[in-house]
Each structure stands twice: as C-alpha cells, then as structure tokens.
Structure 1
Amino acid sequence: MDEGFELRLIEALQPVRGFALAQGIHHLFGSGLYERIAQGPQQIGALAEALELDASRTSGFLRYLANEDLVALGGDTVALTDKGRALGPYRPWYELLVGGYAETFQQVTDVLRGKGYASRDGRLVGIGSCGISAYDALPLVRGLLTDLPAPPTSVVDLGCGDGTFLTSLVGDSGSVTGIGVDPYAPQEPTAGAVRFVRAGATDYVRQSAAAPDVERDPSRLFLAAFLLQEVLEQEGRPAVVELVRSALAQGGHLAVVEVDHRPDDPQVMRHGLGLAYYNPYYLLHVLTEQRLETERFWQDLFEEAGARVVSRRVVDPRVDSTGLEVGYLLTRQEGAAQ
C-alpha cells in the first residue's frame, strides 16, 4: 500500500463525516438538547432525565458532538461552544433538508430506476420551509405588500405549512385576517385573526370559487409561496393556470414566490450558497413531486392565466445574493376572462 493512501482515505471520507454531522446537528435541535444547553451548562444526567432520554446514549451523543467542537464536556457537565451556539439561527435549514428530505436522498437509486417519486416528511418540510422563510420569503412578501394600492384586509395562504409564515404576516397589522390552507396545517383551533383549513390548495380554491355567494374582494390577497411548483408536477400546467386565474377572480392580488431553475448555470453553481444549498435543493426537486421552472416559464404562465405582474422582487442580498428566489405580485389583466 502506498504511503499516500491514508491521506486520500481521509479526504474521501469527508462527505461521510458531513453526512453524520448534519444528522447530529438536526437531532441536537430536534431532541430538545440544544434549547436546554443554550440556557447554560447542564448536568448530563439531569438533562437526559428532563428530556426523557437514555442517559448513557445521550452521553455518547454529546461526546460525538464534542469531538466536532459543537459542545464542550467537563466532568458530567455539557455546554455549547461558540461554534455550537452560532448554529442556532440556521436550525430551519436542517429541519428542511435533513429532517424533511433525509428519506428523499435515501431513495435516489429507486427514483432513477423509475420507481415513482421519492417520499418526504411533509410536516418537517413545512416547519423548515416556514422557518427559512422568516429570513427570505417573509421579508420578500412584506416588500410585495408595499406595492399594493392599499393594505389587504385578508390573506389566504395557500400551502401555509405550519402556519408561522401567515401568522407573522397577519401579525404585522391588527386589522388583517388570515386563512391558512395546507394538508399539514395546524389542527388546533386558533384564536384571533387566523384560522386554518386542512385541504389541498387547488381543492380549496375550486370549492370556494364554486360557492354560490362568492364575490371578488379587491382587498383580499392570495399567497402561493413555493406552491405552484407542487401543483405543476402533481396536477399539470392547466391546473396551475386555473389556480392563478381562480385566485385572482376571488381576490384583488396574488403574491407568488418561486425559485428560478438554473442548475446548469456556472454563475449560480460557483456561488457559495449555490453549492451549499441550491445544488441539493435542485436535486431533491428532481426526485419528489415538485417541479422547478425558470422565470420565463412562470411569466408566460401568468400571462396565459390572464394575470399581470404588478411588481417583482428578490430576496435581500445580505441573506441570499444569488437572486434565485423571486417574488411576484399579480393582478388580473384588464379584460381578462373571469
């Protein structure tokens, strides 16, 4: 065996290390350990008991994290390192990609062999997506709202996930009511201005349009954040066209957030966030019941649906400077069919 084998082995195993570390960080958050340790140094036995975890296995898990410099161990006490504490704001990305899509990446070969779509954890996808949106899509939509002729009186969030996006948006004003529509919407009743409906977006819009007393309300805003890609793959382009047309027939505007599909663009793939986030993001959309498309595609579809683009915005470059996440504010073209 040549003397360079071990060095090449170490390099070859770095993706395996990254795989295990991503899982470890996800479970550090998901187990409740992170929140407890973030409050200050914790006695490991008491920590495991409080969280109903096995003490011996918890100790071994924390030892693994200590070797990756995320926690520091001293006797029977554990504390977060600076590196570990710095991970806090990025929890949603782990919830989405590691929690929501871990099983997806395990099914790559099956999908390549034509055995249907890969599965995903819809609940964690919703939680992670809404958490990430606090940094990108939510400020983006708030920007689109400033382009409205007047503030909306109601917001219908189609594909609301865990509802935090809608709740934050409605919470900006005490006079706005909200309806969140999603198969994984919260089941518990909500107080105040937001209520949730467990349903698919197209079914909800179709049924509400068919209601005998439905009238167009120019002050109602429909919201479709990362939804049209789902409908496109699962129900086809005509269903997306009808969804856009029907939403605008019931409300004054529709806000859409989608991701520009440019996986073969070297400018995107050379960007740090392009490789760290968008490369796996593009891959998982090949495997699941979602279909990303280009800006040109969406603009042509909006025109087909009788919609006019009032404004277009991208995410704050301090968060994401790729310009790939795009928001559109749509209204009905003059003379468009209802």
Structure 2
Amino acid sequence: MIFTLQQSGLQDQFAAGTTVDALVGAKKLDRARLAAMADYWVAAGLLDRSADGVLTLTDLARAYEEARPWYEMMVGGYGQTFLALGDHLAEGTGPAPRRGGYVGSGSCGISMHDSLPLLRKLLAEDGRDYRRLVDLGCGSGVYLTELCADYPQMTAVGIEPDADGAAAARAWVAGQPTADRVTIEQVDAVRWIENTEDKPDLAVYAFVIHEVLGQEGEEGVRRMLTKLFGESPELTLAVIDIDLKSADRAAMSQPLAQAYYNAYLLMHPFTSQRLESRQWWEKLFTECGLRIDAYDTTDPAMDSTGFCVGWVLRKADA
C-alpha cells in the first residue's frame, strides 16, 4: 500500500490536500475502492483526515517517500517474484517473474544513495578524464546522466536489453540537463560491443555482472570481459556489485541486512541471477587477465554492511 500510494499518482494530490469525492470526479476512479484505500492509509498513519473529509499526507508518508526507490524495486519489480517463490522451488521450474522496468528504475534510484557515490569515489581516485562511456545494463540511466554531469566532455550510451528498462531509461534521460549527450540502445551488450565503431574509454557494469553469471554461467562472464577488452584494450571498467554474505550470521544481523539485504539476496537465484563473494570475483578477474587498480565499499554512514562493493579494472598488460 505504501508502493501504491507512491506510484498511483495520488500522493501528489494528497500532498496538496483533497477529498475522495474530488478525486473520483477528477480522475474517474471507483468511489468504493478509493474510499477503502483512503480508510486504509488513514488507519496506517499515512494520511490525515479532517472533519470535513480533506485528506493530507502525514510526516510518516513523507518519510517513506525518501525510500521510494527501495519500494519501487522490491515491491514493484520483485513483488510478484516473492509471491511465486513456492512455485519455483522445484528443480526445472525456471525463473520466477519480475518487472524489469521497476527493477531498473528502483535499482538506479537506490544507487543515487550508495553505489553512485562509491563509483564517483573510485573514479576520482583514478584521476583520468573520460570522454566516452558505455553503461552495460543501464537500468533507468542514472549513471549515464550523473557521470556526464561530472565529465563535461563525455558522451554516453546506455545498453539495456529489457524493453521496459530501455523505456524507463529514455524517460529519465529526456528530463536531465545532459540529455543531449546520452543515447539509449535496446540491444544485447555483446552485439553492441562487436558492432560499435565509437570505442568507449570507460565502461560501467553496475549490478549486471551477476545477471550474466546467472544466465550465461562463468564462461559467459569470461566471454563478455574478453570481448570488451579485446575491442577496447585501454578501457577502464568499473564494476559495482554485491559481496555475497547471506550465510555470514554476523553480517546478516545488522539492521539494514535484516530490513533489506535479507530479501534482496533471497530472490536472486529465483530470477536467474547469481551473486558471489568478493574473493570469488577477484579470482575470476585475475584469471581473465585483468588487474584491480582500485577497490572500495559504500560509505558506512549510508550502508554499514559493506555488502555493496566496487572495483576499477584494466588489462593487466595495459
């Protein structure tokens, strides 16, 4: 119901103050259903109702708004996944469903708070002036527009094979000041790498490499990294992902792990995604002929778990 309040468009109406009757007339809504939802939100402390029936947002609802991306991803994107867990537990049942648009936009919204500051820190320490960025699996396009804002000479392309994700990315980019320097392509990443003539000097793999691992296996990741650096030997690759600690009792006892990561880690194997530990990834990078030029975790003030990690990678012989 928090997600519904945020995504239905009604929250903005309630922020200004309105009534059930006014909304029914303006938006052609079913009165009985809207009245039931309004009663729920009032009882849950998300709306206040005055004596004359005017409904307004509470401070609690405004506090939940700060966490909108988490609701967008976990309820909008993965809500149907969690409902289907029991149906997809048996061997051979295939992946549980999810909604790619909400997964991408929610994930990128969360990234504004944790992984994007981490990425900026890694690149600032690197000190290079990048001109051409590719985001492989760009979600809603946040990394593209934010990095273009950081690098005034940069142009960028976002690769997003999911149709809903690509649409969400184009919608986000269109409203940003750097829109004229960003394009979105709905295409397979390997196909784009093979066919592009405008070689990138910076690539971002943000919460995507574990999807390749889950869907194409370890050899699929190796092929992707080999192809990427084969086409662009001087490339800098920034990888942001999750250090798998679901079996670490101490790590999972932290409040953010209990409130968010426990569910986040659970749904990955049900959606053809495979998380691995930091040590596992670093061994793979080395075996692929890459060197780790930088490594860090998110700011502990935002995420004290250290689950979200990042690397800057280059060819070992570059």
- Report the alpha carbon displacement of residue 51 of structure 1 after superposing the two structures with TM: 4.2
2:76 to 99, 107, 130: 99
Q: Secondary structure at the match of 1:146?
A: helix
Q: Which moved more, 1:291-300 or 1:68-77?
A: 68-77
CA displacement 1:78-111 (0-9 Å, x = unmatched): 1111111111110000010001001111111221
Q: Any residues of structure 2 matched to 1:325-336 within 5 Å, and which? A: 325-334=308-317
Q: Which moved more, 1:240-249 or 1:80-89?
A: 240-249
Q: Does 1:35 align with 2:4?
A: no
- In our comparison, the structure showing a higher alpha carbon Rg is 1
1:201 to 189, 194, 217: 189
CA distance in 1, matches of 2:267, 2:245: 14
Q: Which moved more, 1:140-149 or 1:257-266?
A: 140-149
CA distance in 2, matches of 1:274, 1:298: 21
Q: Which residue of 2 aligns with 1:72?
A: 48
- TM-score normalised by length of structure 2: 0.90
Q: Which residue of 2 aligns with 1:170?
A: 148
Q: Which residue of 2 aligns with 1:303?
A: 286
- TM-score normalised by length of structure 1: 0.85
Aligned positions, number: 304
Whether the 8 Å contact between 1:245 and 1:307 is mirrored in structure 2 is no
Q: Which residue of 2 aligns with 1:12?
A: none
Q: Any residues of structure 2 matched to 1:165-314 within 5 Å, and which? A: 165-183=143-161, 184-186=165-167, 191-208=179-196, 220-249=201-230, 250=232, 251-314=234-297
Q: Which residue of 2 aligns with 1:136?
A: 114
CA distance in 1, matches of 2:29, 2:194: 47
Kindly provide the amino acid, as one letter, of the partner of residue 262 in structure 1: K
C-alpha RMSD of matched pairs (Å): 1.8
Q: Secondary structure at the match of 2:268?
A: helix
Q: Which residue of 1 aligns with 2:65?
A: 88
Kindly provide the amino acid, as one letter, of the partner of residue 311 in structure 2: Y
Q: Which moved more, 1:295-304 or 1:75-84?
A: 75-84
CA distance in 2, matches of 1:96, 1:202: 26
CA displacement 1:272-327 (0-9 Å, x = unmatched): 11111111011101211100000011001111111111101111111110001001
Q: Does 1:56 align with 2:32?
A: yes
- Residues 279 and 201 (structure 1 numbering): CA distance in 2 closer, same or farther, change over 3 Å? same
CA distance in 1, matches of 2:127, 2:150: 17
CA displacement 1:258-278 (0-9 Å, x = unmatched): 101111101111101111111
- Residues 130 and 53 (structure 1 numbering): CA distance in 2 closer, same or farther, change over 3 Å? farther
- Report the alpha carbon displacement of residue 172 of structure 1 after superposing the two structures with TM: 2.5
Whether the 8 Å contact between 1:260 and 1:295 is mirrored in structure 2 is yes
Q: Secondary structure at the match of 2:304?
A: coil
CA distance in 2, matches of 1:112, 1:296: 28
Whether the 8 Å contact between 2:129 and 2:151 is mirrored in structure 1 is no
- Report the alpha carbon displacement of residue 197 of structure 1 after superposing the two structures with TM: 0.5
Q: Any residues of structure 2 matched to 1:92-131 within 5 Å, and which? A: 92-114=69-91, 115-131=93-109
CA distance in 2, matches of 1:61, 1:94: 18
Whether the 8 Å contact between 1:311 and 1:330 is mirrored in structure 2 is yes
Kindly provide the amino acid, as one letter, of the partner of residue 238 in structure 1: E
